[in-house]
Chains A and B, each alone.
Chain A
Amino acid sequence: MIKLLKKEMKLVLMPLVYIFTALSALVVIPNYPAWVGLFYCLIPTQIILSTANANKDMEFTSMLPVTRDDIVLVRHIDFAYIEILQLVFAIPFAVIANVYISPNGNPVGIDPNIAFFGLSLVCYGVYNLIFLPWHFKTGYKAVPQMLVGMFAFTVLVGIFETLINVIPVLKNTLDTLDPAFTGVQLAVLGIGVVFYILSLILSYKKSVQNFRRVNL
């Protein structure tokens, strides 16, 4: 698996992937929805698969001593790597925004706080669950999967924002930079992490089932 990951790093994860990933820094912009940067960050997942398709990566990989399950696993790791990298990259910019630029919070949507990162992981988890098992029904199609996944991501963001704005207790605890609510926000982050890991496991199992039936 390490060799396969090295192969992905050298051949599939192009510089453009990292450029889009770095757009998660957009959380630093004042009076701008924190989610926007993450939307841009869904594009690298599409770039990964487009690069692979354009270069007949599946033909190349199938020549190597690896199984189909390995191919599915490495693509899940690619996605997780990019998504987590986005969030990690966004952390210092979120701190800058919260401490120096908008210390009173972001008036447009949720503040880029700890809860925001937890909810982002839930959104990524849903995106992966839609995208990857569907993609592995063919092993090459990726555009409709990305569009539907992005739509689901948007709907989920809409639901989170609506709930936070409609339910006062959520507004007070999640959309705030007050350190008094750090515990609650850490709990949301924890739920996000658990959901994200479970969604990846479920997506992997479903993708393996789908990909074993594919005729390459």
Chain B
Amino acid sequence: MYIQYTQYIDFTEVNFAMLVVKNLKKVYENFTLKDISFELEKGYILGFIGANGAGKTTTLKSMLNITHKDGGEVTILGEDFTKNELKLKQKIGFMLGPVDYYPKSRISKIVGVYKDFFTEWDENKYRDLLKRFDIDDSKKISELSTGMKVKLGIALALSHNAKLLIFDEPTSGVDPIARDELLDIFQEIVEDGEHSILFSTHITSDLDKCADYILLICDGQIVQNDTKDNIIDSHILVEGKTADLTDDVIARLISFKTHSFGFKGLMKKADMRESDNFMTEKPNLEDIMIFYNKRMKK
């Protein structure tokens, strides 16, 4: 007997990705961004890590058409960004550094201009956020601390109902207390499952606190793209004596450093063998970034 099951799918329930980047490419004379691809779903925080000069800012700028890309597609909320730039900019908020434009102008003056451009500007929400972040909008932008400038950028993005927030090094130059507060705010933002955050940083401890997914870029290439836990769990730090550093071990190590008594390196757990006689340790994101970066620089 043949039974046919018919499955009804309610497409309104399909949870498509907030952001899809496919084969993004940018060629400079001395640097190339090579086929960057990744996705970010609704309700998650994606931490974008890499050393200075690895291509984080170039990736973000190329995605947002601030830098002219040489190839690739960027889809936000299911629509092509290049073709729907005006519409999609209403739905995203991005800060490529703290708010430091028009530094000698009052915040109220700049925001007065800014909000006119956004159809979904919510003045009440903006006022609430200013109160919560303790920002006095009669101040000049230059009078704000770095942390306050980042908070102002977040307030601007959230007040125009941005669903996707993209920040380039938002915690850079911010003191540890303000940084911790910012990371708490990030987590609160995504809690409703309607917002997503992509933020780049080279301070990997930020990501230990709040990132769900990690994107690691080295020398213009994505070398890791997974959940934070998967990335950490699939790698292991190994330490051994100089005599243990055979060609076979070197081939299995992502990269390593030598010292007077031996070596320390990073290996994929899958490449470990029972016969290996190393001291092992769980790596953190900083270890992973450092050893991948070292491999790319070889």
Asked if B68 and A66 make an inter-chain contact with CB atoms under 8 angstroms apart, the answer reads: no
| Per-position binary interface string of chain A over residues 62-95, scored 1 when its CB falls under 8 Å from any chain B CB and 0 otherwise | 1111111000000000000000000000000000
How many residues does chain B have at the interface if contact means C-beta atoms less than 8 Å apart? 29
Question: Is A60 a contact partner of B117 (Cβ separation < 8 A)?
Answer: no
Q: Do A11 and B102 touch (CB < 8 A)?
A: yes
Bound form: Cα–Cα A63–B117 in Å: 10
Closest to B109 in A: A10
Among A131-185, those with CB < 8 Å from B are none
A3 to B68, CA, bound (A): 25
Task: From the candidates A55, A66, A213, name the one contacting B117 in the complex (CB within 8 A).
Answer: A66
A184 to B158, CA, bound (A): 61
Question: Which of B61, B100, B118 is the one whose CB lies under 8 Å from A56?
Answer: B100
Complex: A214 Cα to B109 Cα, angstroms = 29
Contact residue among B86, B90, B101 (Cβ-Cβ distance under 8 Å from A59): B101
Q: Is the interface of A mostly helix, strand, loop or mixed?
A: helix
Are B67 and A65 in contact (CB-based, < 8 A)?
no
Closest Cβ–Cβ distance, residue A46 to chain B (whole Å):
19
Q: Inside 8 A of B109's CB, which chain A residues have their CB? A: 10-11
Q: Are A11 and B94 interface neighbours, CB within 8 A? A: no
A67 pairs with B105, CB closer than 8 A: no
Interchain CB contact under 8 A, B113 and A6: yes
Is A205 interfacial (CB-CB < 8 Å)? no
CB contacts (< 8 Å) of B87 on chain A: these are: 65
Q: Which of A7, A67, A215 has the most CB of B within 10 A?
A: A215
**Interface residue B116 (Cβ < 8 Å from any Cβ of A):** yes
| Interface residues in chain B, defined as those with a beta carbon under 8 Å from any beta carbon in chain A | 61, 64-68, 85-87, 89-90, 94-97, 100-105, 109-110, 112-114, 116-118
